[in-house]
Structure 1
């Protein structure tokens, strides 16, 4: 690589940012790799870490400075990988890197050779990341099944009970009974469906479905347990906001971990859940009126 002298101040600043990003990424990948049981995934992450270290060394030839990793970033992404999985943490990190196309354009004017090397190595990293195989992501379909069914069924059930019952604790009781029963039913159905397809992981698939379902149920019922008996309207508003929050968080996770479109999936899930709630609310009002039920 040819040495480039008299770099502009702007280019030097960008190079220092890039160098720090690379050495930080090296430490993040190394930390994540330490906790992974799968030897194949561990090896891939160690290879990526070595690539990041090489990147940092290349930029150091231009900055003539040592770069220290950002301890906060290393801690944050390591923590995220423990909670939400290493694939999500890695792709989130790649998305949030400070280096941009604009920065690349500035660098290429003064050190095109270095830029070419880095771009080639980054393509190699993308190929390695695509090879990662995380168990959690294998069961996204099961999680979607449990989450989506719970959002539709429980929001519909609770909305339908609001004016018919007008008591948060009774609504919560009925919601929990319905939710727990539906969780067992959904998990059992998923298990039988997986078994009929000849899958060896039927029990695990059913577990993911059941867990996602019951967690969603508890989050949706929680407002009716917190608010006073007569505050059923307020509890309903919080339930709807919780529904939108769950849909937002889940779709953001999928959009990062699986490079899936966020907006379309979010609008689809939100419109179905809120639409069903509205229809169930109207049905609840109609039933109360025609049957004359008052609790």
Structure 2
């Protein structure tokens, strides 16, 4: 190969990426409870370190890892689960595979390209995480709360006007709905034989997802004095929740973010708009000014 200064610098970037990912996989292995998963993570860590050594033969340099990136993926795994962290790492593996494949005149880099591609395949079948097993229950609670509760609060806004009264009414409605959803999920999971899920855990995941959404959506009406401003902030919070959750879900499940986000946002805001109009119509029809 013609190792120009530009190629050397690019190889040094590859080196830093390899040693960084080696340490990341080693750290993830240290917090993984499943023995088979831990074994695969350790093996991949060793292979990444071997890739670093191959690249070092070309650059002749030792390269320090990216400590910030190591900390990022370690804490993402701690907070959001090892699946989420690994799926983000997969994107890096895919980029490494493409970068190495550009150097078709170097057998060593072609081999590294093939090994990076294998990494992704092995990682896809790696994880068996409880939080993902119960993702369906979380989706149920979150989606139901967003669709029903944005609509309810929008309707209460014109029907009741007073933000504190809206918050009180919404909280009572939300807590009751969360308990109802949790109970329904328990009965549904139990009647279906669980499908690998424990009915009590499924109901807890659903109930907690619903309650967290209720608290987030009611908060603007507690903190703000103007009910219409509170409604606008509530809708912004709902959009943020939809975006954050669907980003997490799309990464962890490997699905399209745009499709899920658009579907959930359109559904929630359509219900909110219809409920707002119903609240206005009922207020005008009944003549009640709360």
Bin of the TM-score, shorter chain as denominator length: over 0.9
In structure 2, C-alpha distance between the alignment counterparts of 1:174 and 1:167, rounded to whole Å: 11
Aligned to 1:227: 224
Aligned to 1:201: 198
Correspondence list, 1:146-295, <5 A: 146-199=141-194, 201-228=198-225, 231-295=226-290
SS of 2:103's partner is helix
In structure 1, C-alpha distance between the alignment counterparts of 2:237 and 2:10, rounded to whole Å: 41
Q: 1:245 to 1:96 in 2, by over 3 A?
A: farther
Does residue 10 of the first structure (1) align with residue 9 of the second (2)?
no
Aligned to 2:25: 29
TM-score normalised by length of structure 2:
0.94
Aligned to 2:74: 78
Contact 1:11 1:107 in 2 (8 A): no
In structure 2, C-alpha distance between the alignment counterparts of 1:254 and 1:191, rounded to whole Å: 23
Deviations 1:158-200 (A, max 9, x none): 0001111111111011111111111110011001000001115
Aligned to 1:133: 128
Deviations 1:192-249 (A, max 9, x none): 0000011151111111111111111111111111112xx1111111111111111111
Deviations 1:35-90 (A, max 9, x none): 22221221221122112112111111111111211111111111111111111112
Correspondence list, 1:91-130, <5 A: 91-96=87-92, 99=95, 103-104=99-100, 106-109=102-105, 111=106, 113-130=107-124
Contact 2:97 2:114 in 1 (8 A): no
TM-score normalised by length of structure 1:
0.93
Offset at residue 123 of structure 1 (A):
2.4
Flag structure 1 segments of 5+ consecutive residues without an equivalent: none
In structure 2, C-alpha distance between the alignment counterparts of 1:120 and 1:103, rounded to whole Å: 11
In structure 2, C-alpha distance between the alignment counterparts of 1:116 and 1:137, rounded to whole Å: 35
SS of 2:63's partner is coil
Aligned residues: 287
Does residue 143 of the first structure (1) align with residue 129 of the second (2)?
no
Correspondence list, 1:18-57, <5 A: 18-57=14-53
Q: 1:119 to 1:103 in 2, by over 3 A?
A: closer
Report the aligned-residue RMSD. Answer: 1.7
After the TM superposition, which segments of 4 or more aligned residues of structure 1 sit over 3 Å from their partners?
A: 96-106
Q: 1:60 to 1:108 in 2, by over 3 A?
A: same
In structure 1, C-alpha distance between the alignment counterparts of 2:90 and 2:60, rounded to whole Å: 25
Q: 1:36 to 1:105 in 2, by over 3 A?
A: closer
